[in-house]
C-alpha cells in the first residue's frame, strides 16, 4: 500500500527544457544521488529528499552503479524508496544510471567492455527493482576498449529494452564526436552528455557546448557547486578538522585553494546584490545558457534542495554582472 501522495501542483513552478533533438524534456534542476543516499546515510532523510524533489517538479533522478558508499547502495536505497512511495508515479520519472568506473573485482568490473556494461546494468536494475532505466550512460571513456565495442553495448542495451536512451559522461569533444557518430550509425542516437561544469571548471566552453548545440544533443552538468566551494560553507576558509567531503574525499585541500576561496567570497558579493545565495547564483549561471538542458544538484537535506530550487527564479544576468563574474574567475 502506497501512503505517499505527491503535491497536485508539482508541475506549476518548474521549468522544463527540450533535451537536444528528442521528445524528452528535463526539469531545469535534476537530482543527483552521488552523495547522501548510501548505506552510511540516514534512509528517512534520503526518502524525504526524493519526496521533496518530486513534489517540486523534479522528474529526473540520476544514479550510477558505484554510488554509495558502499558502491551500489544508492541504487538499492533508491529502489526501496521507489517501491515504497513512487510505484504509481514511475511513468512521470526519468531515471538514469551509469557504468564505467570500478564496480567489482577482476577484469570485467571496470571501464567499457560490452561484458561490463551489460552485466552492470543487469545488476543496477535488480538493485532498483526496475525493468528498465530511461537513460543509461557510459560513465567515462575507456582508452583500451575499442569505441565501437562500447557503443555497440549501449546500442544492444536499448534494443534489449533495458534502457530507452543512452548518454555519455566525461568525454572530451573529439571522443564525444567519434562516439556519437558510431551511435548514430547503429541507430541509437546519443540523447545527452554529462560533463563536469561549474564556474570553477569551464573546459566545456572551449568547444563542447558549441558541439552539443550543433549536433542537437542535451547537456546536464554535474558538480555545479564545485564540491561545495561555490557555497557559503568555505567562505571563511576551510574549517579546522573539516572532513571536506565526508566519506567520499573528492574535495581536498589541494583543490580548495586560498585563491578559489577568495574568488568565492567575491562572487558571493555579486550573488548578494542579486538576492541569491552563492549556490543559487552558481546554478543560475549555468542555466543562463540555453544549451544547458538541466543542472544536476545534490542535497543532504530537503532544505538544501529547496534552496537550490530557488535558483530557477532568476537565471538572467546583466552584461555588467557577467563581466564582473568573468573578471573574478579569470583573475
pLDDT reported for residue 241: 52
CB contact at 8 A, 211 and 177: yes
For residue 225, CA distances in Å to 10, 68, 230, 286, 321 come to 25, 20, 5, 10, 19
Average pLDDT over residues 114-132: 98
Q: How confident is the model at residue 205 (pLDDT cuts 50, 70, 90)?
A: very high
Task: Kindly report the average pLDDT of the chain as a whole number.
Answer: 95
When computed from its CA atoms, the radius of gyration of the chain, rounded to whole angstroms, is: 19
pLDDT reported for residue 244: 58
Average pLDDT over residues 115-126: 98
pLDDT reported for residue 2: 77
pLDDT reported for residue 233: 87
Domain map (residue ranges) of the chain: 16-235+289-311
Average pLDDT over residues 281-308: 98
Please give the class, per CATH, of domain 16-235+289-311. Answer: alpha beta
Q: For residue 39, give the DSSP letter.
A: T
**Relative orientation angle of helices 43-55 and 302-309, to the nearest 10 degrees:** 30
Which residue from 23, 5, 27 is spatially nearest to 15, judged by alpha carbons? 27
Q: Is the pLDDT of residue 243 over 50?
A: no
Q: Read off the pLDDT of residues 68-83 as tens digits, 9 standing for 90 and up.
A: 999 999 999 999 999 9
pLDDT reported for residue 247: 43
Across 64-68, 118-122, 247-251, least confident range: 247-251
Amino acid at each position: 500500500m502506497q501512503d505517499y501522495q505527491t503535491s497536485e501542483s508539482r508541475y506549476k513552478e518548474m521549468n522544463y527544457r527540450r533535451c537536444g533533438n528528442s521528445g524528452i524534456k528535463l526539469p531545469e534542476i535534476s537530482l543527483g544521488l552521488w552523495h547522501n543516499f548510501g548505506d552510511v546515510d540516514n534512509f528517512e532523510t534520503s526518502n524525504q529528499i526524493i519526496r521533496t524533489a518530486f513534489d517540486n517538479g523534479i522528474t529526473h533522478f540520476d544514479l550510477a552503479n558505484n554510488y554509495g558508499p558502499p558502491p551500489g547502495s544508492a541504487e538499492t536505497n533508491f529502489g526501496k524508496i521507489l517501491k515504497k512511495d513512487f510505484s504509481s508515479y514511475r511513468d512521470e520519472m526519468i531515471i538514469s544510471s551509469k557504468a564505467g568506473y570500478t564496480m567489482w573485482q577482476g577484469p570485467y568490473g571496470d571501464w567499457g567492455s560490452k561484458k561490463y556494461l551489460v552485466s552492470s546494468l543487469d545488476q543496477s536494475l535488480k538493485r532498483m527493482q526496475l525493468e528498465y532505466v530511461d537513460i543509461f550512460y557510459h560513465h567515462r571513456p575507456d582508452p583500451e576498449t575499442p569505441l565501437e565495442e562500447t557503443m555497440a553495448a549501449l546500442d544492444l542495451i536499448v534494443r534489449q529494452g533495458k534502457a530507452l536512451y543512452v548518454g555519455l559522461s566525461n568525454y572530451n569533444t573529439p571522443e564525444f564526436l567519434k562516439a556519437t557518430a558510431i551511435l548514430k550509425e547503429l541507430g541509437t542516437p546519443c540523447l545527452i552528455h554529462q560533463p563536469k561544469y561549474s564556474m570553477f571548471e569551464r573546459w566545456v566552453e572551449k568547444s563542447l557546448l558549441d558541439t552539443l548545440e550543433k549536433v542537437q544533443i542535451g547537456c546536464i552538468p554535474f558538480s555545479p557547486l564545485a564540491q561545495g566551494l561555490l557555497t557559503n560553507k568555505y567562505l571563511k576558509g576551510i574549517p579546522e578538522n573539516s572532513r571536506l567531503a565526508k566519506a567520499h574525499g573528492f574535495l581536498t585541500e589541494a583543490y580548495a585553494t586560498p585563491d578559489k576561496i577568495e574568488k568565492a567570497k567575491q562572487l558571493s558579493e555579486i550573488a548578494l546584490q542579486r538576492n541569491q545565495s552563492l549556490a543559487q547564483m552558481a546554478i543560475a549561471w549555468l542555466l543562463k545558457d540555453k544549451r544547458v538542458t538541466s543542472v544536476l544538484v545534490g542535497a543532504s537535506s530537503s532544505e538544501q534542495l529547496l534552496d537550490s530550487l530557488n535558483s530557477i527564479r532568476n537565471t538572467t544576468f546583466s552584461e555588467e554582472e557577467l563581466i564582473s563574474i568573468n573578471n573574478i574567475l579569470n583573475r
